[in-house]
């Protein structure tokens, strides 16, 4: 697997990039931390990588909304190389703030004809506070290259804007139907049932 090369994208406010590199290398791939400015100034080329990861943190301080500034920067400055990267089979993963970035770039769409059109977003948690705790998750690995089985997992969540929403509620149902929802909250006994969401995201 050492021929797989990953780029871990970072910018002001990014954290956990070193941990992300460690995780990728532990899995057997090569990983390189790259500042977004290196891509913008053509010091680095996305075409040289197979796998792009945007890690967590508070990119640009989340000053407008979580992930919004970085999402706009990538969309405006790196749209063409990113499009080529994805069309050539490149894989993108967003962790925490990185997931917020991908959603707000429109890269997690139903409308594959126009992937730049944002159809989903992450809104403020209904509870009105930053949620920071461990949660139990049921797994559906059907369309996820990172998972090989459906064994439940326990993971931490830490976000103020974690409520997943769509411009049309029917689109949420479509995600579940298409197997595009990989993780769902469960109870502490890890039964395969939907449990109370920590951020009020929808369930099927």
Per-position pLDDT tens, the chain of length 204: 558 999 999 999 999 999 999 999 999 999 999 999 999 999 999 999 999 999 999 999 998 899 999 999 999 999 999 999 999 999 999 999 999 999 999 887 655 455 557 888 899 998 889 989 898 888 888 888 888 888 888 999 899 999 988 888 788 888 888 888 888 888 766 554 544 567 777 665
Helix (H, G, I), strand (E, B) or coil at 29: coil
In this structure, what is the dihedral angle of CA atoms 171, 75, 114, 181, given to the nearest 10 degrees?
A: -30
The two tokens of residue 194 are 């939907």
In the chain the first and final C-alpha atoms are separated, in Å, by: 37
pLDDT reported for residue 74? 95
Query: Do 11 and 57 contact (CB within 8 A), yes or no?
Result: no
Per-residue model confidence (pLDDT) at position 102: 93
Phi, psi of 122, deg, nearest 5: -120, 120
- Asked if residue 16 lies in contact with residue 55, where contact means CB atoms within 8 angstroms, the answer is yes
């Amino acid at each position: 697997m050492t021929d797989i090369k990953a780029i871990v994208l970072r910018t002001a406010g990014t954290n956990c990039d070193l941990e992300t590199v460690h995780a990728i290398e532990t899995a057997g791939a090569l990983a390189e931390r790259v500042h977004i400015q290196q891509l913008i100034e053509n010091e680095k080329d996305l075409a040289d990588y197979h796998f792009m990861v945007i890690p967590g943190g508070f990119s640009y301080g989340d000053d407008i909304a979580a992930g919004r500034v970085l999402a706009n920067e990538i969309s405006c400055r790196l749209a063409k190389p990113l499009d080529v990267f994805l069309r050539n089979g490149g894989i993108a993963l967003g962790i925490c703030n990185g997931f917020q970035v991908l959603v707000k770039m429109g890269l997690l769409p139903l409308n594959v004809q126009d992937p730049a059109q944002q159809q989903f977003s992450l809104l403020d948690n209904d509870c009105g506070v930053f949620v920071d705790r461990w949660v139990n998750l049921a797994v559906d690995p059907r369309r996820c290259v990172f998972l090989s089985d459906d064994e439940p997992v326990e993971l931490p969540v830490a976000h103020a804007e974690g409520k997943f929403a769509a411009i049309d509620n029917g689109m949420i149902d479509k995600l579940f139907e298409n197997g595009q929802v990989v993780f769902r909250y469960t109870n502490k006994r890890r039964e395969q049932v939907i449990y109370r969401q920590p951020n009020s995201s929808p369930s099927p």
